[in-house]
Chain A
């Protein structure tokens, strides 16, 4: 199948909408075609598949498609097209100790298609436009960040005239953000705040020190993403949400966690606003163009609902790289979605030996 035809078929599946019922037959056919395409055109992936003895002839279900570990994006250019066709490269954050990963794209059409409707339905189901404030750098400051690209893209489509980024030169613009939040406290116009968990923690610290609180319209909402990887201060999610609720007057039903990564074209959001579930039924929705398997690290097989394992994503929007990505995150399936328990720390020493992070720090 040629690229255009493949892209068209995937886009048409995506355009059915994030709330369309999953069609396993269509997904399976597309996934296997995409696997064949990537096997033929992505040399490192092909070598990996061969080393696992899992070639397209041997794979009959999307569940069997070999998944590359996220670390593979650091090791090699994992693209299913020649270098000269590259139009965008997203970089993983990386750390001072490790090389950052790179996700190459030869087209943005799949990327745009998969993120827009998904974002709107999960964050702004009842709004066409809303003021959007982002506690992140702008695309000018972080041109290789997939998160910033996504936020900017959604701002273009869904923000009212007011949109802004509040990290400038690696520092939170506390004055600008305070001024803006005061304005929306006065006007009581609902807003959408976006940022990483770590940037919100910084903001909470600043507000606590300066005795600031904002009584925003409770229909406002927050999109919180990312963890604390490589950061010095970690805060439990429940505590973070309680603090955000207290600081902004935004109820926890309106604080949405986004799960995404540079290596994937698709994002996964809490279903809180999308389906308004009871608290025990909050989970991350799986859009119809992707699938999630929870893998038992011991056996490599996928586990039943409720059991913990490693999150593996099969994502049709990853046409230009690799369809199946094995994350280092731990999670579990719940009904039609999944949730995250945490990330395996790269160092978990229980004895007196040194952990990897510690020795490299």
Chain B
């Protein structure tokens, strides 16, 4: 029997000797039980935070210097041979449960945004920034490993010192990112630190909160609300609870196609991050009066989901996730034996994907892991009325249809207060300026369309 080890990620503060990447990850992957972080004694933590702020106050870096570093960094991360990328591809499947192919794809689409023109646009939007004497703290959650990245980039470009607290589930990617940036430009160590503490450890939180003036936190609604209640009044708190996304297909376009393109786009949106991101669609509303259209699209989508399994194999699921999928499939299978308005399509001998066609208009929330509902949405219905209970909970609306129809929907979609609008197939590709929460304005969509 192999002896099992833990990989311990040390904090990253300026003035400390960086642990070499190779030494940390030299262990054979199948002998590693978990990847954890190393908390510091509170006195040491205070000392490190003080030191970092001191280094930062002496930093001579300009926004342009940081921009240049980020562009070189992104180019490096895009290379398959880049040591950090190699570590990420090999080890992130352990912390996220995603397949290696999924990790590659998610890295690639995220890095797409790290281009000179896009970063310059952020830089220009920010303008000249006044630096503050305290940290911008980023508290990440969950296993969608790239989700907090854009916030850090913005923070760096604002010239303020950034402190990253990764999710306890997935501490690795932020560590690799911070480590790689400091190696590339050691002066940036004064601008970017990484420290992880066990979630909910109030003594650590109190110290770190006291050294922060802006906090960006992700988590479930209860955690965010609890954190907000404990914030010192001097801190600007930006909490992001859970949200969901959906797609909308207007009919006229649909009738003219063979569904391949749209099915391919939906499959991609659903598969990315195993549907666990807030930008992942839970259901697609199909504006039509014919359930046959929905089923036809469902069959095509099933084909695409099958094909996509080769390019983006499904990740590892826990027994709880598996049994949840199976329970919901069983429930739908029972209902479909009595009711012709339900069509269940599923992967063969696996729980890798599920497509459910529903005739009754409803808002079905997915159990995730590539479980998507296609819902008939009769033309006489109004989307605003259907989704009224979910106002404020919607992240992205992925759209497919004509500009004319979208024009007619603008006010209804605006009323839903979604953070972002995009084309189906691009739901998981927010622009860097949209950061994690996007821009809440459907008119912006016209520019892109």
With A71-B330, A75-B335, A310-B326: A298-B350 Cβ-Cβ less than 8 Å: yes
The answer to whether A354 touches B242 (Cβ under 8 A) is: yes
Residue among A309, A330, A344 having the largest count of chain B Cβ atoms under 10 Å: A344
With A355-B242, A358-B221: A349-B142 Cβ-Cβ less than 8 Å: yes
CA distance A77 to B413 in the complex (A): 40
Nearest neighbor of A48 in chain B, beta-carbon distance: B337
Pick the interface stretch among B45-53, B178-186, B317-325. B317-325
| Chain A residues within 8 Å of B325, by CB | 297
What's the least CB distance linking A50 to chain B, in Å? 7
Residue among A72, A295, A300, A350 having the largest count of chain B Cβ atoms under 10 Å: A350
The answer to whether B331 touches A69 (Cβ under 8 A) is: yes
CA distance A186 to B24 in the complex (A): 63
Q: Which of B131-158 contact A (CB under 8 A)?
A: 141-144, 147
The answer to whether B242 touches A297 (Cβ under 8 A) is: no
The answer to whether B244 touches A342 (Cβ under 8 A) is: no
With A328-B327, A359-B244: A353-B275 Cβ-Cβ less than 8 Å: yes
With A350-B142, A359-B390: A310-B323 Cβ-Cβ less than 8 Å: yes
CA distance A72 to B334 in the complex (A): 7
The answer to whether A350 touches B97 (Cβ under 8 A) is: yes
What's the least CB distance linking B343 to chain A, in Å? 12
Residue among A50, A68, A308, A349 having the largest count of chain B Cβ atoms under 10 Å: A349
Q: Bits for B183-221, please: 1 = Cβ < 8 Å to A, else 0.
A: 000000000000000000000000000000000001011
Residue among B142, B240, B324 having the largest count of chain A Cβ atoms under 10 Å: B324
The answer to whether A348 touches B324 (Cβ under 8 A) is: yes
The answer to whether A351 touches B327 (Cβ under 8 A) is: no
The answer to whether B373 has its CB under 8 Å from any CB of chain A is: no
What's the least CB distance linking B211 to chain A, in Å? 25
Pick the interface stretch among B225-233, B257-265, B276-284. B276-284
Count of A-B contacts judged by CB separation below 8 Å: 141
What's the least CB distance linking A243 to chain B, in Å? 21
Size class of the contact patch on chain A:
35 or more
The answer to whether A359 touches B393 (Cβ under 8 A) is: yes
The answer to whether B324 touches A344 (Cβ under 8 A) is: yes
The answer to whether B334 touches A71 (Cβ under 8 A) is: yes
Nearest neighbor of B322 in chain A, beta-carbon distance: A297
| Chain A residues within 8 Å of B334, by CB | 48, 68-69, 71-72, 75
The answer to whether B169 has its CB under 8 Å from any CB of chain A is: yes
Nearest neighbor of B323 in chain A, beta-carbon distance: A344
What's the least CB distance linking A275 to chain B, in Å? 28
Cross-interface CB contact of B277 among A72, A344, A351, A355, cutoff 8 Å: A351
Q: Which of A19-64 contact B (CB under 8 A)?
A: 44, 47-48, 50-52
With A351-B142, A352-B144: A75-B322 Cβ-Cβ less than 8 Å: no
The answer to whether A360 has its CB under 8 Å from any CB of chain B is: yes
| Chain A residues within 8 Å of B278, by CB | 351-354
What's the least CB distance linking B148 to chain A, in Å? 10
Cross-interface CB contact of B327 among A48, A69, A347, cutoff 8 Å: A69
Given A75-B335, A349-B220, A351-B143, 11 other A-B residues pairs in contact with their CB atoms under 8 A: A71-B331, A72-B331, A298-B322, A310-B326, A330-B323, A344-B323, A347-B367, A349-B368, A352-B278, A355-B242, A358-B242
Identify 19 residue pairs between A and B in the complex whose beta-carbon atoms are under 8 Å apart, listed by A's number. A48-B334, A51-B336, A52-B337, A71-B331, A72-B334, A75-B335, A298-B322, A310-B326, A330-B319, A330-B320, A348-B368, A349-B242, A349-B276, A350-B97, A350-B143, A350-B169, A351-B274, A354-B244, A354-B278
A contact residues vs B (CB 8 Å cutoff): 44, 47-48, 50-52, 68-69, 71-72, 75-76, 295, 297-300, 308-310, 326, 328, 330, 341-342, 344-356, 358-360
B contact residues vs A (CB 8 Å cutoff): 97, 141-144, 147, 169, 218, 220-221, 240, 242-245, 273-278, 280, 282, 318-327, 330-331, 333-338, 349-351, 365-368, 390, 393, 436
